[in-house]
Structure 1
């Protein structure tokens, strides 16, 4: 017997849901930073700077300080890409979860709860706003509390959403995630989602740190006649 179950979101989940959403995304900041460090347009200028002390154009101390400042700026750039999105969501759909997801047709928000009453994870569904996606359902806000990962919670949440979409006559489930969210990408691959697009977040800074959005789609098989 499973030690957790899924249920519809309640107002008492509000603070845990918002906190999990924010903390879950912040976990990827360091991964995004390490990815940015490996970019050619980041490390190539850094290598070029190493020649400056040898040409007496910069002291070793100044070089070290410049490197340190560049690293700090790069980390804050990676951080900004996530925190700006978090702040937007917390003042948008995550501001009044009940009103946004439970009082509108085609929307829903589920919570995974342990047998002991612990908040374990969550997932949200809403009609896709993408052009040509009138019969597509969008998966959003999937996150699982760190100590409850590895128990199949995310997979069960996704399957609940897919079943919801199927019952509503949807043809596909779509979602977007970011490149550093590798575990999520692996999960979507295992569930049968396919990568359909790969593009930059609409901010100039996103190209500096290679902050890319990955779009996935799960095609719901047509019901047999």
Structure 2
């Protein structure tokens, strides 16, 4: 760990480790590379199912599928073609949702997740932690300066992920608290983050921790509005210390 601090002098008092019950929140090490990238990929892609079922629940999607079925039934007089067309339509909904997550993962793995140490531990205002339990990496989170700075000293929470088998142990909460504490030590005014609409558990956690939803927008994809793929933005205001 001393090697990390010597390499990153600007984080000497800011990027710290924290001990939690049964697990430790510590700085990322190069030996975590494969585990972290795999955890990130699996954690993101698992939301495809929830997003898909959300899309199928939309009235306009049901109306479109029903319209296609009835038109083809009337024109062909057979149930086979309409059924096949609706099945293809449902498959299309799955592929659209999957495309969003797969594209996001591919982009992330090719950018900031390519060289995690260089991107997060050798730049001022950036940091990356993992949760370790019995020698296994069981969680991750990062902190970066916001993409669109408002002039305030804010921190953005990124890359939060905990494998399904380790959820319910307070690890995600501890990782979020680590970022909040990091921002507080830096004199930050707020912690910002974004998540997709389908990540219900994450949204519940953020609200429970004191985050508030600030705005909502559609993902930057042509078909985002059709499948109702929304991004939710949250903010945690750090109390002014007097």
Fold shared per TM-score above 0.5: yes
Quote the offset at 1:133 in angstroms.
Answer: 5.1
SS of 1:215's equivalent in the other structure is strand
Q: Distance in 1 between matches of 2:147 and 2:188?
A: 13
Q: 2:194 aligns with which of 162, 176, 181?
A: 176
Answer whether contact 2:72 2:81 (CA < 8 A) is retained: no
Q: Distance in 2 between matches of 1:133 and 1:147?
A: 40
SS of 1:176's equivalent in the other structure is strand
- Aligned residue runs from structure 1 range 48-87, under 5 A: 48-52=67-71, 55-87=74-106
Quote the offset at 1:29 in angstroms.
Answer: 0.2
SS of 1:180's equivalent in the other structure is coil
Q: In the alignment, is residue 120 of structure 1 matched against residue 113 of structure 2?
A: no
Structure 1 residues 129 and 49 mapped into 2: Cα distance closer, same or farther (>3 Å)?
closer
Name stretches of at least 5 consecutive residues in structure 1 with no aligned partner.
Answer: none
Structure 1 residues 215 and 203 mapped into 2: Cα distance closer, same or farther (>3 Å)?
same
Q: In the alignment, is residue 35 of structure 1 matched against residue 51 of structure 2?
A: no
Q: Which residue of 2 aligns with 1:199?
A: 217
State the TM-score, normalizing by the size of structure 1.
0.95
104-113 or 44-53, larger mean C-alpha shift: 44-53
Q: Distance in 1 between matches of 2:150 and 2:77?
A: 56
Quote the offset at 1:40 in angstroms.
Answer: 2.0
Q: Which residue of 1 aligns with 2:26?
A: 7
Answer whether contact 1:101 1:109 (CA < 8 A) is retained: yes
Q: In the alignment, is residue 89 of structure 1 matched against residue 113 of structure 2?
A: no
56-65 or 83-92, larger mean C-alpha shift: 56-65
SS of 1:206's equivalent in the other structure is coil
Q: Distance in 1 between matches of 2:77 and 2:218?
A: 35
Structure 1 residues 164 and 53 mapped into 2: Cα distance closer, same or farther (>3 Å)?
closer
Q: Which residue of 1 aligns with 2:155?
A: 137
Quote the offset at 1:128 in angstroms.
Answer: 1.0
Task: Give the length in aligned residue pairs.
Answer: 223
Name stretches of at least 5 consecutive residues in structure 2 with no aligned partner.
Answer: 1-19
State the TM-score, normalizing by the size of structure 2.
0.89
Answer whether contact 1:128 1:134 (CA < 8 A) is retained: no
User: What is the RMSD computed on CA atoms of the aligned residues?
Assistant: 1.3
Q: Distance in 2 between matches of 1:160 and 1:107?
A: 13
